[in-house]
Chains A and B, each alone.
Chain A
Amino acid sequence: MLRARHLPQATRHALHALLIYGSLCAVVGEWFPFTRVPMYAVLRNQARSQAAVPVVLVDGERADIRHYERFAGPDPADIEPWYRCRANGVCRSYPSSDGTDTFYAAWVRDHRARADDPPGPVRVDIGYLLLTARPDGRTYDEELEVVWSGTAWPVGR
């Protein structure tokens, strides 16, 4: 019968680490340096019928928000993801699978125009490209929903 002591020493150490570290990960969960590595595991039982891609448009074209500063416009909290309600009381959430909307909100908040800044030369629209699955489950309808509009200056101008 093969026993652990019959294994090469290097393999024995690796096996011990796998068993101990794996057990700790299963018990502790998501706390560095432990993890159950749940990447996309819930795609199966938490299927989405709609995806929301955060986008930044400058004068109608997709752009990198980091190239702009001195944003003038409404409260950037309107850009925040998760559950939000409009002024008319209509509430909805945005099923975005990445965190760039949080980054956009933080960027606008950290690069606001001062009170004495003139309006920027470019129009900035921040929102979500909504991808809704059609009945065949493989093709999608696309719709842009803007959640924040304002002006900004290119960095350095």
Chain B
Amino acid sequence: MVGDGVAGGPMTRRIAWTLIAFGGVLAVLSTVEKLPGAEVLGLHGVGAVVVEAARSAAGRAAITVATLALAARIVLTGGRSRAVLALFVLIFALAHVEAAADLPGTESVRHGKFLPGAILGVVALGRLLGRDDPDRGERRALGYAVGVAATLYGAAAVVKVATGGLDWSGNAGIGMLVYERSYAVPGAWSDLRRAFGTHPWLPAAGASVVMLVEALGVLLLVPRLRFAYAALATAMHVTIFVLLGYLYAEWWTCLWGLAFWTRAVERTSEG
């Protein structure tokens, strides 16, 4: 997957794929406890066996072990098998189906699983299209993955503007959401959330910053800015975790993975 001809490749590639695989494993492990509804099984025949296996503790353990084994193989061998990737994407897609079925209306939970799954899928596509030249195929795969990541972050800003206009951030619902989360996720940050949620202008300011960071996702198209954007987006996600309790670890680990992978590809090209 990272490639034919780069067996035991540079450490940066291993770091990159560790981060991306970790993001995917996180998504699967955090989702296997959510069981699908009957209507989901009816609509999604493919993978029904795996879904049924997830209903039992033994089945969930087997899926978890298999997923960890796949991630370990990716790390230790440089992920040379497309079958590994295909199976990983399948598990991830099924995990998404489970999450969507069990928690209707919770858009943020579903979307927490998106980025690594979509990335793994287009990486496979890029490698397939570039199979005659491993180096070019890898650059194509990386490009596709970055394009998907930039799309997802940018779309989050675009949809907000399309729905609520440029002053989307100036709505009272944001403060209420943070205040609500202070009770929904009790713990160390509850007092901070209540103070933030009732502040006269902090919710609007914070939402504006989030929209700006999302819109800057297009910076991922520039290879030299990927580390910078990974840091910026991680800061945004950490802030969202403090205020709302959603970590989105899958997303920012993948961003760092893409940044490291870019560095590895650039060094290969220079060599």
Is B29 in contact with chain A by the CB < 8 A criterion?
no
Tell me whether B107 and A47 are in contact (CB under 8 A): no
> How many interface residues does A have (CB within 8 Å)?
50
Contact with A along B76-94 (1 / 0, CB 8 A): 0000000000000000010
Tell me the B residues contacting A by CB distance below 8 Å.
Answer: 35, 93, 96-97, 100, 102-109, 111, 114, 117-118, 121-122, 126, 136, 139-140, 142-148, 150-152, 154-156, 159-160, 162-165, 168, 171-177, 179-180, 183-184, 186, 197-200, 218, 220-223, 262, 265
Is A140 in contact with chain B by the CB < 8 A criterion?
yes
Tell me the A residues contacting B by CB distance below 8 Å.
Answer: 8-19, 21-22, 25, 32-33, 35-48, 51, 53-55, 62, 97-100, 102-103, 106, 129, 131, 133, 137-140
Chain A binding site: helix, strand, loop or mixed by DSSP? mixed
* A91 to B: closest C-beta gap in Å: 19
Picked from B102, B139, B145, B147, the residue with its CB within 8 Å of the CB of A16 is B147
Listed A/B pairs (9) with beta-carbon separation below 8 Å: A10-B265, A13-B140, A17-B145, A33-B93, A43-B168, A44-B171, A99-B109, A138-B172, A139-B198
Q: What total count of A-B pairs have CB within 8 Å? A: 177
Tell me whether A41 and B155 are in contact (CB under 8 A): no
For the complex, give the distance between the alpha carbons of A32 and B110 in Å. Answer: 10
Other than the given A18-B154, A41-B160, 8 more pairs (CB < 8 A) read A11-B221, A15-B147, A32-B117, A33-B117, A37-B152, A44-B165, A47-B172, A140-B198
